Amino acid sequence: MADHPDVEASAKSVAASIEASSLRDQLATIKLALGTSPIRKHLLWACVGIVAVIVATSIGQVLLNRWNEPFYDALARRDMQGFLHQLLVFAAIAGGLLVLNVGQTWLDQMIRLKLREALTLDLIGEWMRPARAFRLANAGAIGVNPDQRLQQDAGHLSDLSTGLGIGLLQSFILLVSFVGVLWSLSSGFVFHIGGYSLAIPGYMVWAAILYAGTASWLSWLVGRPLIRFNSDRYTREAELRSSVVRVNENVDAIALAHGEADARRRLELDLGTVLGAMRRIYSAQINLSWVTDTYGWITVVAPILVASPVYFAGDISFGGLMMAVGAFNQVHASLRWFINNIGGIADWRATLMRVADFRIALVETDVLHDTEERIMIGENPNGRLTFENLEVASRDGCTKLAEPHVEIRAGERVMITGDPRAGKTLFFRAIAGLWPWGSGRIGMPAGEVPAFVPRKPYFPLGTLREVLNHADAALSDADISAVLAEVGLGRLSSSLDRSARWERELSDDEQRLLAFARLVLRQPKWVIIDEALDTFDGATLRRVLSMLEARLADAAILNIGRGQQNIEFFPRSLAIVKDIERPALKPVRVRAGAIEPPPAVAAAYQET
């Protein structure tokens, strides 16, 4: 069987779109998300505030470093009065730094909170644009487990970005503040070798740069694999959580089929992949610890070793030595920010990749409508629904109506039938705009928003009143109770204000009846049904059709189903056929980055 060229090329298209995403692309995507956020001003002011606090803290650190020389010189002279005075100076400096540190902690937490709010709201907004979540679910691996990217990854990225960003800014400001101090202190460093004197300008600055640069380079070499290992771990964690949720959602079916052993085996297999990913991370972290911990211990004595020749030569006092050591430690601490945070940087890079690529994929799904060879959906000013040469493409044929030109007027009742595997659900999704692959035109009645009734209804979490009540309508309890009674669900009238997972409390037929009750309460002018009436027995079907006749008398109703179920209610009949001799449309050129459904997904949309 030949494949649809567009569908066949999709997996490669998705992979190319995501793998081509560079660090610059990912950062630009996050910048765009934050730049359009309604809370960007709050985030900006918090960032300005923390910069001011860090600058003030750096000034305090410089003052504290200068305090070292008179304090230790007073100790060396055994000057009690000078010693007590310096303690008072220390108390004033430390008190100011304490206030600044608390303020920095509060601003740090506010930035984390606002950053997560901005990122998550943006992702939710992009994900919940019309039909995007559906298309993304068909886009391959990037569409798997979006819950983790929205909830866990966005929050983790916010925490890492805030922590690393503030740390980097603080290190940079401290570096700028203390490089000058350390350079001036190094001016008095003269080395006496074999009767010669040698002065190296900025000696301790260069020593700190060389020392920290060597450590940073080794840390990057050893810690770089953590980026790949962290990304793989998050993927495995998502798969394990998805498996647990799937088992929990189907515990009754598993128990009836005695499938606990298979479910446990699947969960154990997914757990094994998570543990394997964690072992690789831990091994890399241990290797990294050899480098960072070695440099950490050397740092205890490194500044004293660097300055000791000058001290023993008598060119600086003990207080001057301690001041130089303090400045060296500040400069070195700023320069070794990368060493201390290599694990966090690798984690941040992996998380940024997951969040940014997810948002890129969300936006890229819209390019489906940028190409010519797609089903065109427009509006008819005459208020009618039309199908002009409509062909819905799939891997095993083209689904279409037996009549190439079809026009349906307002208020008409039409039954659309087809053989099993003719692609009735695919046809339904094409009308709804969810499946754009194919050719021809669908003309929707201008100014009308059709109500689509799928085989399996969706009920949001909340009270029954919220499930049934239209957002713009104010329905009375009497109206709701009357409709529930008409569909045979009168017992639910006493549960209007009870929150529940209604898809679990009601049987499949009861869920469909509730969906039809919601439908008539919303009073649409156009209704398109996908096999939702097929499972009802004769009495239930007559009850539902009678309610539709009475309450939606002026509405046009199209029922896509398996056969003629009520010729009196649906006097007009259309047929869906599949042309298996034409399994593919003419190939189209897909622009870089387009998201299309992979072959496995396309095949899954054929009816069983």
CATH code at position 456: 3.40.50.300
Q: Which of 346, 365, 384 is the last residue of a domain?
A: 365
> The domain that contains 293 carries what CATH number?
1.20.1560.10
pLDDT mean over 237-248? 82
Average pLDDT, the chain: 80
Range in 19-33, 130-144, 581-595 with the lowest mean pLDDT: 581-595
Any domain includes 602: no
**403 lies in the same domain as 466:** yes
Which residue did the predictor score with more confidence, 482 or 320? 482
Whether residue 528 lies inside any domain: the answer is yes
* % of the chain exceeding 70 in pLDDT: 83
- Verify that 320 and 412 share a domain, yes or no: no
- Whether 437 and 348 map to the same domain: the answer is no
Query: Do 147 and 198 belong to one domain?
Result: yes
Cα(107)–Cα(99) distance, integer angstroms:
12
**pLDDT of 584 higher than 70:** no
Nearest to 505 by CA among 570, 563, 461: 461
**Residue 224 forms part of a structural domain:** yes
Mean pLDDT of 22-43: 86
Under 8 Å between Cβ of 587 and 6: yes
Output the pLDDT for position 313: 63
**How far is CA 252 from each of CA 255, 303, 366, rounded to the nearest angstrom?**
5, 67, 39
Domain assignment present for residue 5? The answer is: no
E strand or H helix that includes residue 197: strand 196-199
Residue 256, domain member (yes or no): yes
Q: What is the pLDDT of residues 512-564, one digit of tens each?
A: 999 999 999 988 999 999 989 988 888 899 899 999 999 999 999 999 987 65
Q: Give yes or no: residues 225 and 121 share one domain.
A: yes
Instruction: Tell me whether residue 604 is in a domain.
Output: no
Q: Does residue 169 surpass a pLDDT of 60? A: yes
List the domain range (segments joined by +) for residue 81.
Answer: 23-365
Region for 78 from its dihedrals, namely left if φ exceeds 0, alpha if ψ lies in -120 to 50, beta otherwise: left
Indicate whether 512 belongs to any domain: yes
Q: Is the residue at 370 inside a domain?
A: no
Could you read off the pLDDT of 244-293 as tens digits, one per residue? 888 887 777 777 777 788 888 888 888 889 898 888 888 888 887 887 77
* pLDDT at residue number 2: 36
- Counting beta carbons within 10 angstroms of the beta carbon of residue 268, is it exposed (0 to 12), middle (13 to 18) or buried (19 or more)? exposed
Does 383 lie in the same domain as 361?
A: no
Q: Which amino acid is at 187?
A: S
In this predicted structure, the answer to whether residue 601 has a pLDDT above a threshold of 80 is: no
Of the three residues 365, 391, 418, the one that is the final residue of a domain is: 365
Residue 588 has pLDDT above 80, yes or no: no
pLDDT in tens, 179-199: 777 777 666 566 656 566 666
Instruction: Assess contact for 552 and 450: CB atoms under 8 A.
Output: no
Q: Please state, in angstroms and rounded to a whole number, the distance separating the CA atoms of residues 286 and 107.
A: 33
Distance of CA 192 to the CA centre of its chain: 62
My answer on whether 350 and 407 are in the same domain is: no
222 shares its domain with 158 = yes
Q: How far apart are CA 414 and CA 423, in angstroms?
A: 18
344 and 411, same domain (yes or no): no
Q: How many domains are contained in the chain?
A: 2
Same domain, 423 and 359: no
Same domain, 350 and 229: yes
- SS3 sequence, 232-272? HHHHHHHHHHHHHHHHHHCHHHHHHCCCHHHHHHHHHHHHH
pLDDT computed for residue 379 by the predictor = 92
Alpha carbon distances (Å) from 593 to 17, 24, 435, 442, 498: 4, 16, 18, 26, 46
Q: Which pLDDT value is given to residue 240?
A: 86
Q: Residue 408: what pLDDT?
A: 94
Average pLDDT over residues 76-90: 88
Give yes or no: residues 85 and 164 share one domain. Answer: yes
Nearest Cα residue to 303 out of 398, 212, 385, 416:
212
pLDDT band at residue 64, thresholds of 50, 70 and 90? confident
The reported pTM is 0.61
For the chain, the residue count is 608
The torsion of the CA quartet 111, 114, 117, 121, rounded to 10 degrees, works out to -120
* pLDDT digit string, tens, across residues 328-356: 777 767 777 776 777 788 888 888 888 88
